[in-house]
């Protein structure tokens, strides 16, 4: 059979692109090496954060607002619990990009929707388990969101099936070849033909499969879970159930960490950007799921300094991969050497929240519906020179 579209990789973004195309009535085959959601890509580890304020003054702001609407729509359509409202904090000293930079962009573009400035003392008062130094401050966003990544992907794949997409799991794509009017996609035991191919393989886009140098750096990053109050009497059960935001905190220049409200697994915390030296990034360590002792110690050190009531109780960890582009913007473009192939790659640690919109944009591009300014920041040509 000749499909209209083959989507390679059915994780956060690929599943959404397949859904959009199938719901528009195209014949779609979706192929994944594993069975998403799973723990070998970039999408695992409940929950994912959705926040707007950090995108003030950038083209991402409209996209994140569209994405929030899409997640709510998908939630209503599927009856699954995909998105939950929460407060979100961006914390740092005034000179930090995370706090100061965002504040400046927000002031310029003035799109505030329930955003509020908090001084260090106010942060401590409202969220007593956080201990910012006196010169740190925060932007509080009342309408942040928590996404359940497994449920989001399962629900989206369910919609793909309902819309008639053919889904193949456990089929690692080894290669693809362009022919006259179609592209052939090869797995160890099958061949699929499609007029156009969407390549959305997450961190694997850095390998041979993309057949293009995409300037991606795959970075191991570890998520940890702690049970506050279990080992440290500094926080009460009421506080655990009470007001609790998600946060990203630039604790030292260029280095940040994050935390989430308590969920079924406890409180998720992790080191975010600028902490590469604390991550086991040697080749043989990239595929390991559990944290190394050095990674756990680095996390404990940050908790001990900035959120002591959360320290001492890390009981679970899961390594995951960021696919970083040099400018941390995504890649969403036509393949540089093949007009029938379209790419999404370089989630750069923040693509999950945008997945329904990125899927829609990729589907639009691949079906010649739009190649407008929306994709301009994501074109490969920006890396030329
Ligand atoms: C620890 C961590 C925390 C994060 N936190 C957030 C957050 O709070 N908010 C946010 O917005 N984003 C966050 N992100 C980023 C976000 O999760 C990723 O950007 C997003 O999952 C990328 O989606 P993707 O579809 O490109 O890749 P994936 O979701 O990894 O999907 C790729 C799929 O391709 C498949 N595949 C790979 N190779 C092949 C092959 N050869 N053949 C067939 N299939 C193949 C894989 O099996 C996989 O299912 C976080 C990422 C990490 C690692």
Average pLDDT over residues 296-310: 95
Interval 267-300: pLDDT, tens: 999 999 876 665 555 554 555 678 999 999 999 9
Which of 146, 165, 152, 155 has its CA nearest to residue 363?
Answer: 165
Q: Give the 3-state secondary structure of residue 256.
A: strand
Domains of the chain (ranges; CATH) run 2-43+150-216+327-383 (3.50.50.60), 85-145+217-324 (3.30.9.10)
* pLDDT (average), residues 300-318: 93
What residue's CA is closest to ligand 1, atom 15?
Answer: 349
**310, 231 Cβ separation under 8 angstroms:** no
Distance 48 CA to ligand 1 centre (A): 11
What is the spatial distance between Cα 205 and Cα 348, in angstroms, rounded to a whole number? Answer: 13
Distance, CA 260 to ligand 1 centroid (Å)?
Answer: 19
CB 52 within 8 A of CB 143: yes
Distance 197 CA to ligand 1 centre (A): 18
Mean pLDDT (whole number) for 366-383: 85
Overall average pLDDT of the 312-339 stretch: 94
For the record, the structure tokens of 269 come out as 């915390």
Burial 20-56 (b: 16+ CB within 10 A, else e): bbbbeebbbbbbbbbebbeebbbbbbbbbbbbbbbbb
Give me the DSSP letters along 180-206.
SS-EEEE-SS-EEEEEEEEE--GGGGG
Atom from ligand 1 closest to the CA of residue 31: 43
For residue 38, the ligand 1 atom closest to its alpha carbon is: 49
Query: Taking Cα atoms as reference points, which of 5, 33, 40 lies closest to residue 19?
Result: 5
- Ligand 1 centroid to Cα of residue 117, in Å, is 32
Mutate to test the pocket of ligand 1, among 200, 320, 347 (most ligand atoms within 8 A of CB): 347
- Site residues for ligand 1, CB cut-off 6 Å: 8-14, 31-34, 36, 41-43, 45, 48-49, 172-173, 200-202, 204, 209, 221, 223, 270, 320-322, 344, 347, 349-353
Helix (H, G, I), strand (E, B) or coil at 87: strand
What's the gap in Å between 141 CA and the centre of ligand 1? 26
Asked if residue 108 has pLDDT above 80, the reply is: no
Chain segment 12-31, per-residue pLDDT in tens: 999 999 999 999 999 999 99
The answer to whether 74 and 297 are in contact (CB under 8 A) is no
């Amino acid at each position: 059979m000749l499909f209209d579209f083959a989507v390679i990789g059915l994780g956060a973004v690929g599943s959404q692109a397949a859904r959009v195309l199938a719901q528009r009535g195209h014949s779609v085959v979706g192929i994944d090496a594993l069975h998403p959601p799973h723990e070998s890509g970039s999408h695992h580890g409940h929950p994912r954060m959705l926040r707007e304020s950090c995108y003030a003054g950038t083209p991402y702001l409209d996209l994140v607002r569209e994405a929030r609407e899409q997640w709510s729509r998908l939630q209503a359509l599927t009856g699954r619990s995909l998105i939950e409202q929460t407060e979100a904090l961006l914390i740092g000293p005034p000179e930090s990009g995370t706090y100061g930079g965002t504040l400046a962009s927000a002031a310029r573009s003035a799109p505030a929707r329930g955003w509020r400035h908090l001084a260090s003392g106010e942060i401590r008062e409202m969220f007593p388990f956080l201990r910012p130094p006196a010169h740190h401050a925060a932007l509080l966003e009342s309408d942040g969101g928590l996404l359940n990544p497994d449920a989001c992907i399962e629900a989206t794949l369910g919609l793909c099936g309902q819309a008639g997409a053919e889904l193949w799991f456990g089929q690692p794509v080894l290669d693809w070849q362009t022919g006259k009017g179609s592209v052939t996609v090869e797995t160890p035991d099958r061949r699929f033909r499609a007029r156009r191919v969407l390549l959305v393989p997450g961190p694997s886009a850095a390998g041979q499969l993309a057949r293009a140098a995409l300037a991606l750096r795959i970075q191991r990053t570890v998520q940890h879970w702690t049970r506050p109050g279990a080992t440290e009497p500094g926080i009460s059960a009421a506080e655990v159930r009470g007001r609790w935001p998600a946060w990203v905190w630039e604790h030292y220049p260029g280095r940040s960490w994050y935390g989430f409200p308590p969920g079924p697994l406890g409180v998720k915390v992790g080191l975010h950007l600028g902490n590469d030296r604390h991550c086991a990034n040697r080749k043989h360590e990239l595929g390991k799921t559990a944290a190394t002792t050095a990674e756990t110690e680095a996390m404990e050190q940050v908790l001990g300094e900035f959120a002591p009531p959360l320290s001492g109780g890390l009981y679970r960890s899961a390594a995951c991969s960021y696919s970083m582009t040099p400018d941390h913007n995504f890649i969403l473009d036509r393949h540089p050497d093949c007009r029938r192939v379209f790419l999404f790659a370089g989630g750069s640690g923040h693509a999950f929240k945008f997945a329904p919109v990125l899927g829609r944009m990729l589907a639009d591009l691949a079906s010649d519906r739009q190649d407008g300014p929306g994709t301009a920041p994501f074109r490969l040509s920006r890396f030329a020179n």
